[in-house]
Amino acid sequence: MTASLVFRQPAVTSGRLVFGVDDGGSTGPVIPPVDLTLDGYFPDVEFTCELEYRSDTQRPMVASSQGGWQDAKHSPAGTAEQMQDAQKHPAGWQALWRKAANAGLPLRMPQPKVLQPDRRGTAGIYELAKRLHAAGRVDSQSGLPQHVWRLAAYEVALPDRLRVGFRHQDGLQDRRPQHTSRVQVALPWLVGLGTDFQEAAPSPVFWDSRFQPAAQPLVGISTPGGGGGPVIPPKDPPCYTPDPHLVFTSARALNGHLVFLCKVAVIAPPAHVVIPVRRAYIVRNTINLTRVDSGAEVQAHGFTMSLDYKSWTWSWSASLHHDAAPHLGRESNGDPAEFAVEVNGVPFRLRLERKGRDRRFLPQERWQVSGKGRAAILAAPWAPVLSFGNAEQRTAQQLAMEALTINGVSIGWDLDWQLQDWVVPGGAWALRGSYMDALNDIASAAGGYIQPHNTDRVLRVLPKYPVAPWDWPDVTPDFEIPSMAAEVEGTEFVDKPAYNRVFVGGQGIGVFGPMTRAGTPGDQIAPQVTHPLITAAGAQRQRAIAELADTGNQEIITLSLQVLPETGVILPGAFVRYAGEQTVMGIVRSTAINWTHPRLRQSLEIETHV
What's residue 64's pLDDT? Answer: 59
What's residue 534's pLDDT? Answer: 96
- Name the amino acid, one letter, at 457: R
What's residue 343's pLDDT? Answer: 96
Strand partners, 584: 578
What's residue 167's pLDDT? Answer: 53
DSSP result, 169-184: S---TT--S----TTS
- Kindly state the percentage of the chain with pLDDT values over 90: 49
Contact 153, 166 (CB under 8 A): no
- Over residues 185-218, the pLDDT tens digits come to 655 655 444 445 556 566 555 445 556 666 666 6
The number of beta carbons lying within 10 Å of the beta carbon of residue 237 is: 9
pLDDT band (50, 70, 90) for residue 283: very high
CA 563 to centroid of chain Cα atoms: 29
Strands 583-596 and 300-308: antiparallel
Please, which residues have CB within 8 angstroms of residue 146's CB and are 6 or more apart in sequence? none
What's residue 50's pLDDT? Answer: 76
pLDDT band (50, 70, 90) for residue 465: very high
Contact 366, 391 (CB under 8 A): no
The number of beta carbons lying within 10 Å of the beta carbon of residue 268 is: 15
Cα–Cα distance measured from residue 506 to residue 513, given in angstroms and rounded to the nearest whole number: 10
pLDDT band (50, 70, 90) for residue 117: very low
Contact 459, 415 (CB under 8 A): yes
Alpha-carbon distance values, 364 to 322, 348, 494 (Å): 8, 29, 45
123-127, 155-159, 470-474, 602-606, range with the lowest pLDDT: 123-127
Average pLDDT over residues 121-135: 47
Contact 38, 5 (CB under 8 A): no
Cα–Cα distance measured from residue 259 to residue 596, given in angstroms and rounded to the nearest whole number: 53
pLDDT band (50, 70, 90) for residue 589: very high
Contact 604, 584 (CB under 8 A): no
Cα–Cα distance measured from residue 582 to residue 573, given in angstroms and rounded to the nearest whole number: 22
Query: Which has more pLDDT, 36 or 437?
Result: 437
- Over residues 89-110, the pLDDT tens digits come to 555 545 445 555 565 555 454 4
pLDDT band (50, 70, 90) for residue 112: very low
DSSP result, 450-475: EEE-SSSSEEEEEES-SS-GGGGGG-
Alpha-carbon distance values, 440 to 57, 398, 525, 530 (Å): 72, 14, 26, 15
Cα–Cα distance measured from residue 569 to residue 285, given in angstroms and rounded to the nearest whole number: 13
What's residue 365's pLDDT? Answer: 84
What's residue 305's pLDDT? Answer: 97
Give the residue from 438, 468, 465 showing the smallest Cα distance to 312: 438
What's residue 342's pLDDT? Answer: 96
Contact 59, 16 (CB under 8 A): no
Residue 131, pLDDT > 60, answer: no
Query: Which has more pLDDT, 225 or 351?
Result: 351
Structural domains in the chain, sorted by start = 1-77 (no CATH), 287-378 (2.30.300.10)
Give the residue from 366, 307, 363, 317 showing the smallest Cα distance to 341: 317
What's residue 242's pLDDT? Answer: 62
What's residue 75's pLDDT? Answer: 62
Query: Which has more pLDDT, 491 or 49?
Result: 491
What's residue 509's pLDDT? Answer: 87
pLDDT band (50, 70, 90) for residue 580: confident
Give the residue from 365, 368, 364, 363 showing the smallest Cα distance to 352: 368
pLDDT band (50, 70, 90) for residue 51: confident
Phi, psi of 586, deg, nearest 5? -160, 180
pLDDT band (50, 70, 90) for residue 157: low
DSSP-derived secondary structure letter, 132: -
Residue 550, pLDDT > 80, answer: yes
Residue 116, pLDDT > 80, answer: no
Average pLDDT over residues 280-296: 93
- Over residues 316-343, the pLDDT tens digits come to 999 998 889 999 999 988 899 999 999 9
The 8 Å CB, 24+ separation contacts for 73-80 are: 74/46, 75/44, 75/46, 77/44, 78/44, 78/46, 79/43, 79/44, 79/45, 79/46, 80/44
Contact 422, 396 (CB under 8 A): yes
The number of beta carbons lying within 10 Å of the beta carbon of residue 254 is: 10
What's residue 512's pLDDT? Answer: 94
Burial class of residue 306 in the structure, from the number of CB atoms within 10 Å of its CB (0-12 exposed, 13-18 middle, 19+ buried)? middle
Report CA dihedral (204, 208, 212, 218) to the nearest 10 degrees. Answer: 10
Contact 558, 489 (CB under 8 A): yes
Average pLDDT over residues 152-161: 52
Contact 20, 68 (CB under 8 A): no
- Over residues 338-379, the pLDDT tens digits come to 999 999 999 999 999 999 988 877 777 899 999 999 999 999
Average pLDDT, the chain: 77
Contact 519, 405 (CB under 8 A): no
- Over residues 497-542, the pLDDT tens digits come to 999 999 999 998 889 999 999 989 999 999 999 999 999 999 999 9
- Name the amino acid, one letter, at 108: R
DSSP-derived secondary structure letter, 503: E
Residue 52, pLDDT > 50, answer: yes
Cα–Cα distance measured from residue 338 to residue 79, given in angstroms and rounded to the nearest whole number: 65
Average pLDDT over residues 139-167: 48
pLDDT band (50, 70, 90) for residue 469: very high
